[in-house]
Each structure stands twice: as C-alpha cells, then as structure tokens.
C-alpha cells in the first residue's frame, strides 16, 4: 500500500501543506469556516497553544488523528469513518471535490488525478489558517477598542470644544454687530431728531415772519383803501407822498418762497452700514438673482447689438457684422442700448449680470418713455432725467444721471454686477453679488414704472438666473 501511494505521488510536501490547498482550498471562494462546520471546544485549546507560542504553526504530528480522539480532530471522527466503496480509512482529502477519501479513491477511484492531500496535513493547514483568522480578528478588535477609547473620545472632546468656541464666536460677532447697529440706530434717530427740530424752527420762524408781514400788508392795504374811498379828490391828489410810502412799505415785505431749508434733509437717515446690511438681508437665497422671467426685450435691442437665442446675452457688433433689423418704435437706432422685459412699479426687484467679459457697459433703470430714436442725449443712458445707470468705461466706474458723473471707488473689478430696486423706499442700489458690497445707491422719487436698462460697447453681458 505504501508503494502504491508513492507511485501515485501522494506524499506530503516538506512543510506538510499541499500548495494546491493553499491556492485553491483556502481562497475567498471557499471560506475557512465552510470546512469547520463541526468545530469542537478542543479547537480553542489548540488555538490557545498556538497563540501562546507566538503564532507558530502547530506541528502535524501533534494533530495526527492516530493520537487524538474523535472530538480532538475538531472536524470529523477519523477512527469511525471509512470509505463505503473500498472499506478503507478516510485519511485523505480531495481538494478538487472538497471531500474525505481513502487512498484507493485517490489511486484507482473517482478522485484519481485530483489534487489530494493527507488528512493530517489538511487538518494542520485548516487549524493554522483558523489561528491566522483569529489573530487577525484579535488585532482588529484591538484596533476597534483603541479607536473607541482614543480616537472617538478625543473627537468627542474636540467636538465639544469646537462647538463651544463656535457658539462663543457667533455670540461675540452678533454682539458686536448688535452694538454697532444700536449705536448706528441711536445716531440716525438723533440726526433725524435734530433735522426735524431744525426744520420745525425754520417753519416757526417763517410762519412768524410771514404772519407779521401779512398783518402789516393787511393794515397798509386797509389804509390805502380808506384813502381811496374816503378822501376828496384834492386831498387824494396831495396824498401821493403818503401813498408812495405805503406802497414801498408793502413791496419791502417781499414775496414768500419755498426753500430746501424747509424740508427734511434726505441724507439725515442714510447709513452705509445700515444700507449694506439691508441689502445683504434683501439679497439672501433665491432673491439674489431675481426673477427668471427677466430677459432682454428683443424689440428694444439696437442694431449695434446681437441678442442670444435665450434672450439673456447682449453682444456688441463691430461695424462689418451689424445687421439690418425691422423697424420698431421701441428699438434704439443709434445708441447700443436695450431694455429688460420686466416693468417695476411696486415691491422689491433684483437682477444680476455677468459683466466680466466687457470693458465698456452700462446697467441701470429707465422710464419706458425714454427716447429711443436719434443720437441725442435724450436717448443716451445716464445723460437725461429718465435714466439712472452704473457705467464702466476705460477702466473706471461711475454713476450717471442727467449727464452728471459720480466717480466710484472700486478696488477690484467685479465679474458680476447686481441691481436692487426697492420701490417702497424708492431706492436703487448697485452691488457686487459675491461679497454683497454696495457699489452705489441712490434714492429718488420715481414717478412712473421703471424698466431695466443696458448698453454694451465691448464684447458681451449676460443676465444670470
């Protein structure tokens, strides 16, 4: 029998483990626990011995089925199980079919030519593999314990510290902002109060002066009427000196006229801090870019400009590229202007334009009655009483209304320019959307609905949504 086994190349390798076993049987497709369906408590003892030896492989002789009981094998009962076909001891393992076989099965039986391994070597390999798995689990458990005890607890402590610091920062910043707002509120209220008292004093003075003048004028007129109606002709003729004095006295009273001194100064309630905070609050979230319905009105676009298919981009056309457009009363024919499609006469409205590509543009608002034809100032944005625009030209930013230029100090060239029109407060505000920095604001009594107004003389601008 021994000779037959040698001839069939059934001897074990030097290390007691079949290479095929390690490459095939111990693969991920065949988990180690699938071969250990009947592991007994003695397995723990063997594993413990292995662990106590520093993880060294258990020797094959120590695990031989001839020196252990049925339960000590941890897998099957060697002494009791025999091959049904050959009535021989099942002391070999077929790695191809994953079953226990006898030596005859391997030589002349159904497992001839298969990858076979002595059972002792197979048990040794399984035990060693199981020990490796247990060691890895033990190390994994230690890492989990360390993660829980060190990392998570440290993170928990850091979280508490960071959250506490964040809360303190929020409270501190809000406190500073609240204090600044309260001081600004107090300053503005006092300024309004002083302005109100000044105007009231002017009104009282004017009222007293003109009441006294009215009384004097009334007396003078009464005397002249009395002289006219009761004096004989000769006396009336001789009273010309007295009449002249009375007339001179009446003329000396002057004519009453309204002045700006009798009005509350509009700037008394103006605050850069308050205006910036108000604009930031108004432009939070979806309000920042306004209504998606705002587009360029194709009927107003000058032939000097081209309009994109989505009506959201205006591009300046050089002379050779200009096109002939059908006549329209609403179209600008000389200036490179266009209007927006949204009429505004109530509520608050905002819109943003991408102006980063253009070195020359105007953005603002105008009345619908703005002149559209001709090359005069009446059709030129910012150069008449019907339009208010922010202008960028030759590297400079300025605000234009009625032809008056207000230079603006802009540190960094904005890629986007936003506009906010608040009808209730009659305020038009130009701002930089990314930082909400106010570029310029103007308060005016708008007497008619307003339309967004635009002009481009370099590249293009785009309405953003």
Mean pLDDT of 156-167: 94
- Position 273 scores a pLDDT of 84
Is 360 a residue whose pLDDT tops 60?
yes
Helices (H) and strands (E) in the chain, counts: 9, 16
- Position 286 scores a pLDDT of 66
Is 8 a residue whose pLDDT tops 50?
no
pLDDT tens figures, 223-277? 888 888 888 888 877 887 888 888 888 888 888 888 888 888 878 888 888 887 8
Banded pLDDT at 51 (limits 50, 70, 90): very low
Architecture label for domain 284-464: Sandwich (2.60)
- Position 38 scores a pLDDT of 36
Residue ranges covered by each domain of the chain:
2-135, 284-464
Alpha carbon distance 361, 316 (integer Å): 10
Mean pLDDT of 38-56: 38
Tokens of 285: 């979230």
Share of the chain above pLDDT 90, in %: 57
Query: How far from 204 is each of 39, 95, 209, CA to CA, in Å?
Result: 109, 115, 8
pLDDT tens figures, 111-129? 999 999 999 999 999 999 9
Cα Rg for the chain, rounded, in angstroms? 50
Is 186 a residue whose pLDDT tops 60?
yes
pLDDT tens figures, 425-450? 899 999 988 887 889 999 889 999 99
State the greatest distance between any 2 C-alpha atoms of the chain, in Å, as a whole number: 177
Is 300 a residue whose pLDDT tops 80?
yes
Look at 238 and 210; give whichever has higher pLDDT.
Answer: 210
The answer to whether 103 and 85 are in contact (CB under 8 A) is: no
Mean pLDDT of 103-114: 92
Is 45 a residue whose pLDDT tops 50?
no
- Position 253 scores a pLDDT of 81
- Position 281 scores a pLDDT of 80
- Position 25 scores a pLDDT of 41
Task: Tell me which of 46-60, 349-363, 372-386 is least confident.
Answer: 46-60
Banded pLDDT at 47 (limits 50, 70, 90): very low
Handedness of CA 157, 163, 166, 167 (dihedral sign): negative
Is 163 a residue whose pLDDT tops 50?
yes
Check residue 55 and give left, alpha or beta (phi > 0: left; psi -120 to 50: alpha): left
Share of the chain above pLDDT 70, in %: 81
Mean pLDDT of 304-320: 91
Is 95 a residue whose pLDDT tops 60?
yes
Banded pLDDT at 282 (limits 50, 70, 90): confident
User: SS3 helix, strand, coil % of the chain, rounded to 5?
Assistant: 40, 20, 40
- Position 274 scores a pLDDT of 85
- Position 284 scores a pLDDT of 72
- Position 405 scores a pLDDT of 96
């Amino acid at each position: 029998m021994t000779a037959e086994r040698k001839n069939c190349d059934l001897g074990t390798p030097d290390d007691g483990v079949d290479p095929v076993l390690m490459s095939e049987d111990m693969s991920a497709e065949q988990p180690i626990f699938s071969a250990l369906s009947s592991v007994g408590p003695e397995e723990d003892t063997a594993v413990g011995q292995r662990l106590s030896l520093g993880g060294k492989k258990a020797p094959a002789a120590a695990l031989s089925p001839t020196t252990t009981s049925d339960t000590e094998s941890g897998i099957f009962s060697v002494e009791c199980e025999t091959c049904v076909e050959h009535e021989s001891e099942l002391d070999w393992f077929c790695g191809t079919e994953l079953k226990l076989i006898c030596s005859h099965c391997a030589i002349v039986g159904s497992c001839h030519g298969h990858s076979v391994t002595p059972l002792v070597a197979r048990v040794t390999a399984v035990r060693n593999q199981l020990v490796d798995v247990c060691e890895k689990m033990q190390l994994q458990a230690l890492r989990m314990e360390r993660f829980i005890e060190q990392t998570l607890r440290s993170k928990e402590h850091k979280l508490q510290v960071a959250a506490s610091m964040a809360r303190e920062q929020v409270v501190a910043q809000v406190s500073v902002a609240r204090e600044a707002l309260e001081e600004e509120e107090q300053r503005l209220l006092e300024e309004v109060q002083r302005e109100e008292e000044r105007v009231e004093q002017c009104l009282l003075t004017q009222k007293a002066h003109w009441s006294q003048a009215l009384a004097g004028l009334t007396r003078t007129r009464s005397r002249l009427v009395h002289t006219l109606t009761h004096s004989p002709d000769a006396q009336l003729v001789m009273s010309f000196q007295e009449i002249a004095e009375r007339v001179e006295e009446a003329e000396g009273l002057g004519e009453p006229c309204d002045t700006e001194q009798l009005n509350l100064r509009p700037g008394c309630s103006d605050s850069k801090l308050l205006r910036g905070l108000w604009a930031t609050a108004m432009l939070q979230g979806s309000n920042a870019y306004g209504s998606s319905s705002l587009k360029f009105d194709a009927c107003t676009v000058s032939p000097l400009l081209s309009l994109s298919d989505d009506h959201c981009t205006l591009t300046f056309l050089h002379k050779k590229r200009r096109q002939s457009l059908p006549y329209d009363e609403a179209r600008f024919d000389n200036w490179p202007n266009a209007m927006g499609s949204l009429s505004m006469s109530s509520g608050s409205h905002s819109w943003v334009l991408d102006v980063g590509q253009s070195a020359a543009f105007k953005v603002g608002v105008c009345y619908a009655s703005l002149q559209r034809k001709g090359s005069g100032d009446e059709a030129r944005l910012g150069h008449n009483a019907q339009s208010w625009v922010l202008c960028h030209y030759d590297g400079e930013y300025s605000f234009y209304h009625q032809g008056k230029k207000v230079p603006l100090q802009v540190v960094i060239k904005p890629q986007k320019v936003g506009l906010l029109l608040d009808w209730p407060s009659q305020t038009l505000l130009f701002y930089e959307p990314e930082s909400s920095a106010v570029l310029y604001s103007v308060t005016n009594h708008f007497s008619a609905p307003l339309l967004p107004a635009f002009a481009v003389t370099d590249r293009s601008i785009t309405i953003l949504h």
